[in-house]
Amino acid sequence: MRHAAETTQSHSAPNTNTYLGYFTHLAVTDLHEAAMGCLDRPLPVADEPLARDRLLETSDIVRTAMLTPGPTQDYEVKHYGRLWETWLASPYGGEVLYKEELGKLEAAESGLPAQSRSAWNAAMLRMRFALADDDRALALLAGESSRLGSAHIAQLTEMLGELALKKEGRRLYRWLTELAPLMSGRRLRELETYAGLWDELVAMLPEAEPRMWETLEAMLPSSQTIYEERLLGAGRYEDWIDIQLSFGRDPLDYRATELAPLEKEAPHTLLPFLPSGDRTLCIDEKQSQLQVGGQAAQAAGQAVQENEARGALDRILRAVRAAPQQAARAAGRAAERKAVMNAQRDTISIDVRLSEHGDALIYGVLEGYGYVPGMLLKHKLFAWHEASFYGTNLDVNQVMLRAIDDPTQSTAEVVILPSEQVLAFFAAPRLLKHVAWEMTGESRLLSRWAPVLAEWIDERRYIPPSGCVPSRSAAVDLGRRAAAG
């Protein structure tokens, strides 16, 4: 295969040893698939006296080709791995042969071309893995992290598939965990294979499931499709809604059939979704425009009826169906388009100022952007806040604040949280999990003391002025007295 590739394109690309022309690539791919198909079948002459020696000679030839820079090197890495996996290790006692091969690889390291270092590491990794020498194998993997190509990822997932077949759950857990940082940003097909190994592991070790969710979440946005499909499949509907709200989606982005599982199994989770649909599309009386929104509203109505909270739903639906204030909505949509949240974990810093009546004037700063538009902030910060009907009933005003990065940006939009809701919200905030929230300035102080003050109020140790929460100085004074007492 290598000879055919080099001969075919010797005149077209004389200065490179990695490039394959289109037709040459097609021919080499056909040869590669034929070779892999042959290696996948059981060896018909395994019992022949000379079969072992001939196979070891074949291994020497493939190893030499694999460690020689050339346009088919990645293919030869795959041939080498499959040869050992199916034709050598199993029939002839793997451990002894693996140790012998390990010695040959170590001997070949001297004078190894730089272009072949990755192939050599891949071969060493396979031998260490087969000998269950995971510490050294993982050390090799860490050293290759910046050079892992598709061939190496394919080899790794094949090796981990062997652990799944052998039910070696503990080893598989360790390898999947160590491999996770290297999989971020990989192709969807590779990520699907990797996630499938997690599925097999969880079937063996149910206690590994929390780590699986953490891993898939950490790999966003590349794992987005896989992560969301598994959330729905596992019935984690609130987490699925959370990720939609975090990434700025709404019910109008989906067909009614796509929301059917939520309508049937957990209709209450659709409640926070309603306001987000309202802010991106002014729903009119046309039935076609109400298809998704109507399905969501119906499902939400069933949930609220079950929870004897129909009044809350009525208020949400009135807000969704009310005639829009064109100027305000247009300005809000334009501001949101300027600060579109992407499918990654955004970092939003929150600060607050308390008015003399105890209302909280809340503003946010998006890392790398500046002040967050008020409409966007309230629908993200209060996405799970039932008291404000998921942010729908909160007002947004413009105020003058110091410029952040951009000296022309001295005007910010603040979300006004009524005084009667301030203490409860900051005492136990329920925030979107797929946004990185950071409490700064006075919001940090309020978050620190709100649980204490709420507890004191419940115990009647402190009674705030009617309709107010304590001011900053009062909170500090109460905190000092609590520490002293």
Nearest-angstrom CA–CA distance, 121 and 135: 14
Residue 42's contacts (CB-CB under 8 Å, 6 or more residues apart) are: 86
Q: Are 276 and 251 in contact (CB under 8 A)?
A: yes
H or E, element range at 416: strand 411-417
Q: Are 20 and 9 in contact (CB under 8 A)?
A: yes
User: For the segment 338-362, what is each residue's pLDDT rounded down to a tens digit?
Assistant: 333 344 578 899 999 988 888 999 9
User: For the segment 27-42, what is each residue's pLDDT rounded down to a tens digit?
Assistant: 888 888 888 888 888 8
Nearest-angstrom CA–CA distance, 261 and 243: 16
Provide the pLDDT for residue 226: 94
Provide the pLDDT for residue 234: 93
Strand pairing category for 411-417 and 395-400: antiparallel
* Nearest Cα residue to 26 out of 45, 4, 41: 4
**Alpha carbon 95 to its chain's center:** 38
pLDDT band at 105 (very low <50, low <70, confident <90, very high): very high
Q: What is the DSSP string of 254-300?
A: S-GGGGHHHHHH-GGGGTTHHHHHHHH----S-GGGGHHHHHHHHHH
Strand pairing category for 360-366 and 411-417: antiparallel
Provide the pLDDT for residue 237: 93
Nearest-angstrom CA–CA distance, 394 and 382: 9
User: For the segment 185-227, what is each residue's pLDDT rounded down to a tens digit?
Assistant: 888 999 999 999 999 999 999 999 999 999 999 898 889 899 9
Residue 314's contacts (CB-CB under 8 Å, 6 or more residues apart) are: none
* In the chain, where the domains are located: 2-237, 247-324, 343-484
Integer angstrom CA distances of residue 295 from 266, 274, 311: 13, 10, 19
Prediction pTM value: 0.72
Q: Are 414 and 397 in contact (CB under 8 A)?
A: yes
The mean of the pLDDT values for the chain is 78
Strand pairing category for 411-417 and 436-439: unpaired
Lookup result for tokens 């829009």: 324
pLDDT band at 321 (very low <50, low <70, confident <90, very high): very low
Q: Are 431 and 437 in contact (CB under 8 A)?
A: yes
> What one-character DSSP code corresponds to residue 221?
T
Tokens of 260: 């059917």
* Nearest Cα residue to 117 out of 86, 90, 146, 157: 146
User: For the segment 435-480, what is each residue's pLDDT rounded down to a tens digit?
Assistant: 999 999 899 999 998 998 888 888 877 665 554 544 444 544 544 4
